[in-house]
Structure 1
Amino acid sequence: MYDDLALTLNAQFYRANENASDADFEAILDAAVENAFPGSIMVDDLRIAVGRGRNRYRYSLRVFKARRPVYFLPRLQLEDQIHAFILVLEIEHCIVVLRKSCANISDQLESVGHLIPPNELWSTFDDSLVEFQKLSVRNMTVSDKTLRARTLEAADLKGLVSTHAAGRSIPYFLRVREGRKLTSLSLSTSRVFDASDRVPSAAVVEWARQKIRQIGSSANRDKSFLSSFAATVDLSAVLARSNPSALLIESGRLAELLMERSARLFTVEDGVKRWLSTDLQERVLEALERVFEIGSKAENGRDFEVVGAKAELRVNKASLSIRSKSLQRIHVDIGGDVSTLQSLIVKGNLFCVCFDDPKYMYFMGQCFEDSSGVSQIESLLEMLHPHAELSRATSEKGEPFSRSQTRFKPTSVFDVVERMHAAEDFVFCDDKGIEWADHIVLNRNEGVITFIHSKHGKQSTSASKLHDVVGQGIKNLGNMFFDVDQFMSKYASKLRLDYDSTQINRKRRGREAELRPTLKALLANYGTQRRCVLACDFISKADVSAQFARVKARQPVKGHIIQLLWILSSFSHAAKEVSVEPRIYCEP
């Protein structure tokens, strides 16, 4: 290959079909240069073999001058000239496509391969070794009363994103950092982009080969974060037990695509091209915003009617598509590359389908299954922090109290909690009256504010015991965002006094003179972490883990185990939604 090619690491990955011919690959190159100036092709290589053995690959390459219409002076019919290329690599059993400014080749690529599905594409990295910096998800709904999509960004989303009902969210864009390397994945188009300087062609081939081998050897990679989201499922298996019920054109993404590419819409009447005005284009997009109901099967017994749209939802071998005479009559011109609006929507996977079983959804050319509940088990178990000291607790507070008592009884959960936090700057007992928590803990050096809610009981996996303490924790999440004056007022009226009718001072640890400076430092520190803790001596992590393992394995469990799962999920979700870390102190 040409050694002086300098390319970015930005490519689409396809699984190769069997028996693709030279003619198939030549058709791809021919389609790519449909917007070329006549006689401008500078490089024209078709399926050139390079290397031997495991290092063998083929490449097809065309470099040419492309035409791009100038729209701001339409009467003069001007055109820009830009150099373009298409590079198709055949490596092992995959096809890798790199291109710039060439015409649409989607139809031709289907003859040689199919896009690598999202769950295989994101297996190129280990969740535990990367930082998830950006995540875009599509919710499994077509309702106009709920959020359909959302984008999240952070230094690392792991541990910050609530997995509560994450199983009904389909990731379609990721950006991850591994060390210094930044990688973006567009799962809807199977595109991988590694941020880097331009590199020579040999480095591009080696990069593509590495990605392909990562896809093929993903069995032992940690997917604890991404497995919380909706999982891919075979379309034919879904259609065997459920029928499509609603169709939604992703009109927002379609409008963005048309705008980004300066596309123009037109129709052809009696052989005459008629451009759609801005007003008509807006009407077309507006008409596509509605949710279309899917009716009964068509006459062929395979496809489905789209109610009130003179269209069909077609069932293909491994995908769904739309057939609409209205969408076929509207053409799209993107820089001289012309296709029908139907083709643009179908080839770009700009539509989704819901089924009469709501746990399924077709999106990005794949069928997904809601994995809520099971998928979040691992993240819920991470909330459980076992402490052997809790096994010695026989009560919550150690009642009855004596007037001379200066500490809680050693066999109480309260005393265990105070001993666990004996090295903190401040520990306050806020139990009884208008309370924010049973204990409030301040740690200036580590930058942590902790609210602890305690509950004692006989060891059990019962959901009812946990329900009360979870309710207390969630109710007081808002109080964790106090200011200095609020806390000092609470200290003066309550936290500096003795507990009930005892000599147990509510300020269990810390010097009064250091309280205000500590509060100011904590609240001024942008990195201060807030932590909501439930101290529950009736929960054993081993017992809960064993029961949740049965849930993951789809084995029967008692009803209270599912309730326990959802109560833990609710606590995690509520805390993370307000940027508070949830923890549960429990027995081993």
Structure 2
Amino acid sequence: MIKIKLDDLNITNNAVFYKLKKSLTKKQIKEVFKDLCEAKKGKNKNVIAVRDNTRQKDVYISALVFSVEKNPVFIPEINIKEIKYSYLLLVEMNDTLVVSSLNIPNVFHKFPGKLMGYPYENISNTFAEHNPQFEKLRTQSADIINVGHHKKTIEGYELNTYDVGLNSIALALSVRTENQDLNSITLNTSRIRTNSGRIHIDNFLFWSKKIIIGINSSKKDSFLNVFAKQVEIEQILEGKLKPIGILLNLHVLEHIISESTDDNIGLFIKSADGNFTEMPLSNRKKLFSQFRKSLVIDYDSKSKGYKVHTEDYSILISILIDKLRISIPELKKCYLYSIENGPIRSLESFINKEQNFTVVFDHIEYIYTLKQLFLKQDITQNMDYFYDIMFTEDKLLDCTGEKYIQGSSIQQSDTKFQENTLLNVVENNIWDKNGHLICDDLGDEWADHISFRNSKDKDIAPEINFYISKHGDDTTGASKFHDVIGQALKNIGNIKGSNELFKLKIDGWKKSNYAKTNITKLRSDGNWNIVEKDVKEIIDNVLTVRSIYLVVSFLSKQRFIEEVKQFNSGTKKLKHIPQLIWFMLSFINSAKDNKIQPYIICKP
């Protein structure tokens, strides 16, 4: 076997950086090297160095190279073997472990108690001292209502001035520094790379030292401050944060069941004898209905854990070292089940594996989502931004119903919505009487009202407005707001629909009045021919402004502002306030991402 030396290694400036809590030991490193070789059935094992510090006194180098023989993926059946080499290089310097590797799994868990990740703020600002110009960003939203996780990649020259949105998480960055080096950072793994080709081990050590200096620099780049930052879950374990609200995003599960061919996938209950019976439809609807709401978390001093109680279910929340986990005792035997293939996985396993839930805390700026804990530092400092999109309407104070007043019902002879109903207030007090107003009441309702304004005035832009209305008793609770925001997010794509899509919608509107009454769908003057002509011109116009109005009679702006102040000052920590703020942030962020103006109209 050929003996390989450190000087034979020709590697790239590409490594993962961990903070060293304690120095590694030779015994540990040898055991890890042995385990890696055995796990991959490695051959030609070369342990090049184990904590070798002959190059530099305070730099300890450990290195392993081995080979693996396996069939080529494109010739699996014939006994032909290809040889692939793997290497692992561990460098301990300046209280940091630098890991360079090829064909080797993550080694973080191989050294329990010895390593910890560098904070997001340190890793993201590695190049802050070198006049960084951001050329590529990969981001994702941290919305509490995850109607599909919104990932996007932005490329360009000098993205430092780009508006990344209110609620974005930076996943990866490409940064050009003043010496024209192109660097990349993958934030959730702390992997840093500089494009420089293959280099000698001594050059790699020099590069690693420069990176560690950058990681520990106190300089911060203002551009990165707008992102939500990943933080350690230890903050919950240490009691610095208390979970106070949870939302289970089970729309993915509902979609799997509803879209399954010939109803061959459903929720089944496993009996004591091992047989499976389908959960009755009424029970399934009740399950999704109860878990669709935002839920308040209570601390149970007896079990020293966090619990949620719904009408029929209890949820236990466990805080592990690297994630949150939930268990639902009443659903231990509930499985996602295929008629053809049997049980797929338990409902509890599905929720925890997919991590389809978000948790908010007694500090508004924190949220657990996408399997990680995030900090949005500026959320409480920018509350004026929330207040600026909230407009008040006095007439909402008199509302006693959404479509009809309490104690009555819509009559077939009605030609308009009753006074003091929410839909009547929209038509007579909120809509500005310009253009066309339509009451949308079809099976695929996009909004309660949709208005179109085709302006010929060069100073006034054409408009498409969606009005989504919700009535209820006075509250700043999050559940009602969750419903109305969920509808808004679901229909963001429709407000940007094509001429063909709106033509189909208009054809449906023409066919009938509202809910078998004499209330016409077209609530403004004019006729459908003019509506069709104007809508086509509005959609074709690149200057058209699109807005979504959430019209809610249950929310008071003044009460909301007061309760936010009380929460932030600690005088009255109502548990639903963080959820409500994150719901609003989801709405604002999704609208802005789609070039739509978001508004909330509520009581004074």
* TM-score (norm: length of structure 2): 0.46
* TM-score (norm: length of structure 1): 0.47
